[in-house]
Structure 1
Amino acid sequence: MKRVAIEFSYDGTDFFGYQRQNDVRTVQGELEKALERVFKTSIQTYAAGRTDTGVHASGQVASFDIPSERLSELDIRNAINANLPRDIYVKKAWFVHENFNPRYEAKKRIYHYFILNSKSNDIFLRRYTWWFPYKLNVEAMREAATYLVGEHDFTAFSKRGEDDTNPIRTISALRILRLKKDLILIRVEGISYLRGMVRSLVANLIKVGTNQWKPEHILEVLESKDRSKSAGLAPAHGLFLYKVLF
């Protein structure tokens, strides 16, 4: 047996999230079906993170054991891609040590959130950006973001989840970039996140961007540890798991 890691991308539009579920289409489910077709046996995979329904990835990482000793890394990548649906693509495969698990060995997970900030919608971007046709004060959003960097209790910026027993998380960087006149990127870097945390951060920053909140109000929400004080969640389709670093 050899343990393999893959970096892969997927369009989350037509998936009910990453994690395998009965009777619905998921990324993990489709990946494991492809692996079973390639290796003629059931193979369990372990991912660096679970994305919600509609969320995309350009740099998801998963690991699994394969029974074949003869295939090269390139052979493995090509064989899996030949059996995957068109909305999943393996970018590279490599051999790792026998205990490698991307969930526990990841040193940083980077998420990108895209906002189409224009009066007119672009139907070709509708699956991958949040169309927000109102003026945004990016400088105020950047000021608000400074309150979120560091180690905090992010309870107010999360969805309820039984597995989120420890609400303390560390954001190492939070940048807001205007890539083009009408395209805004919110880049969040950290080791791990609570459920829905990145989408909640975006929704709250938007409140500041529309001048409904002053930048320092973000700190009040953070310190409240109260989800009802939060602005809720930004739409899933603007979010990408961009990169996992080890």
Structure 2
Amino acid sequence: MRRIMLTVAYDGTNYSGWQLQPNSRTIEEVLNRAISELLQENIEVIGASRTDSGVHALGNICIFDTEKSRIPGDKFAIAINQRLPEDIRVQHSEDVPEDFHPRKANGVKTYVYRILNRKMEDPTRRLNSTFCYFDLDLEKMRSAAAYLIGEHDFASFCAPKSQAVTTVRRIYSIDIEKDEDDMVTIRISGGGFLYNMVRIIAGTLMRVGTGLYEPEHVEEILEAKDRQAAGPTAPAKGLTMESLVFEKEPAPEVRGENIHYSYTIDQRSLLKSGNSMVLIHRCEEEEFAGLVERSVHQAFRNGAKQVFVKDEEKTGRIRVGQVFGLYRIRAQKRDIFEAVFFGKELEDDSEE
């Protein structure tokens, strides 16, 4: 058995998104057919991002397994491209370990949303950008975007039909620029995104840019945790998944902080002993259970064999036998508790 990873670029205009759908043409369907014909095997790819209908990509990642093929890993791209339509192209291919999974590996995902901001439309850019007649105030948009940086509950920026296990996500950066051809780009990098999250952020920032919202209102939208509080979902054609860069080795520490809580996942002993420590520095009572579950889950996902938890703010909030979602507190030594997995892991829905 071999596992092959592909980096795929596509114009999503003529497709009903990435994921297989009955009676609809999708990127996944076309790739499955092309690779199956090439290898004479039944191939089913697994994508890192199941992009929505009309959304484009420059660097979506997918994997597939082959039992028979001896094609060198870096040659799959050329061979597959010969069987693909001109609006889909494999940019890179390589062998990866058999246990590698693009939805379970940590990484930084970057999306770009494009807005043509001028008085007249340009038909040559209609397929990969949305059009805005009103002048956008980029400084106000940048001020509003600053409220979204970091770890937050993005329930207000998530489509209602999402089946995400948690709506907490972390955004690393949001850059907003305008070029000499009047194209505004909103480039967002994060650890993962909810269904329609980037498009709702773009729609909300456009309202700030046109003066319908003040920048400070974005913080109120976050705190509302209500989709109705945010702006509209911007059109799909303006969105492109630009890249996904996987983490090569665990960071020594993972920190999360906002007005509701602050924590650290100490991973300095991870590679040597397989242990990680979750330190809760401060946390509001109503956020505590969810924070413990998410941080312990992240520690295990990052490769820990044992995860310990310490509440630095308040004693008594963690007890032996206590359950935090899929994790149970098994043992205690002084003020340090061991958390163990006992439930059935759910696959989180991180989609655009």
Structures share a fold, TM > 0.5? yes
Separation in structure 2 between the aligned mates of residue 13 and residue 21 of structure 1, nearest angstrom: 16
Separation in structure 2 between the aligned mates of residue 220 and residue 180 of structure 1, nearest angstrom: 33
Closer, same or farther: CA 113–182 of 1 in aligned 2, 3 Å: same
Instruction: Report the aligned-residue RMSD.
Output: 1.1
Over alpha carbons, which structure has the higher Rg? 2
**Aligned equivalent of 2:32:** 32
Separation in structure 1 between the aligned mates of residue 71 and residue 180 of structure 2, nearest angstrom: 44
- Per the TM alignment, residue 165 of structure 1 is displaced from its structure 2 partner at its CA by 2.5
Gaps of at least 5 residues in structure 2 are: 247-352
Amino acid in structure 2 at the alignment position of 1:84: L
**Aligned equivalent of 2:281:** none
Amino acid in structure 2 at the alignment position of 1:5: M
Closer, same or farther: CA 154–185 of 1 in aligned 2, 3 Å: same
Conserved 8 A contact 2:162-2:194? no
Amino acid in structure 2 at the alignment position of 1:127: L
Separation in structure 2 between the aligned mates of residue 171 and residue 33 of structure 1, nearest angstrom: 35
Gaps of at least 5 residues in structure 1 are: none
Separation in structure 2 between the aligned mates of residue 181 and residue 22 of structure 1, nearest angstrom: 40
**Aligned equivalent of 1:179:** 179
**Aligned equivalent of 2:199:** 199
TM-score of the superposed pair, with normalisation by structure 1? 0.97
**Aligned equivalent of 2:242:** 242
Separation in structure 1 between the aligned mates of residue 29 and residue 225 of structure 2, nearest angstrom: 35
- Per the TM alignment, residue 179 of structure 1 is displaced from its structure 2 partner at its CA by 2.5
- Per the TM alignment, residue 162 of structure 1 is displaced from its structure 2 partner at its CA by 4.5
**Aligned equivalent of 1:105:** 105
Q: How many residues align?
A: 246
The 5 Å alignment of 1:39-188 reads 39-188=39-188
> SS where residue 141 of structure 1 aligns?
helix
> SS where residue 234 of structure 1 aligns?
coil
Separation in structure 2 between the aligned mates of residue 58 and residue 244 of structure 1, nearest angstrom: 10
* 1:31-71 Cα deviation digits (max 9, x unpaired): 00001110111112111111000000000010111233521
Conserved 8 A contact 2:60-2:241? yes
Separation in structure 2 between the aligned mates of residue 57 and residue 89 of structure 1, nearest angstrom: 10
**Aligned equivalent of 1:20:** 20
Conserved 8 A contact 1:39-1:67? no
Percentage of matched positions with identical amino acids:
37
Separation in structure 2 between the aligned mates of residue 162 and residue 155 of structure 1, nearest angstrom: 10
TM-score of the superposed pair, with normalisation by structure 2? 0.68
Separation in structure 1 between the aligned mates of residue 192 and residue 47 of structure 2, nearest angstrom: 13
Q: Quick one: higher RCO (CA 8 Å, sep 6+), 1 or 2? A: 1
Separation in structure 2 between the aligned mates of residue 181 and residue 126 of structure 1, nearest angstrom: 14
Structure with the larger helix share: 1
Separation in structure 2 between the aligned mates of residue 93 and residue 181 of structure 1, nearest angstrom: 34
Q: Which moved more, 1:94-103 or 1:178-187?
A: 178-187
> SS where residue 51 of structure 1 aligns?
coil
- Per the TM alignment, residue 127 of structure 1 is displaced from its structure 2 partner at its CA by 0.3
- Per the TM alignment, residue 106 of structure 1 is displaced from its structure 2 partner at its CA by 3.9
> SS where residue 111 of structure 1 aligns?
strand
Closer, same or farther: CA 201–4 of 1 in aligned 2, 3 Å: same
Amino acid in structure 2 at the alignment position of 1:182: D
> SS where residue 104 of structure 2 aligns?
helix
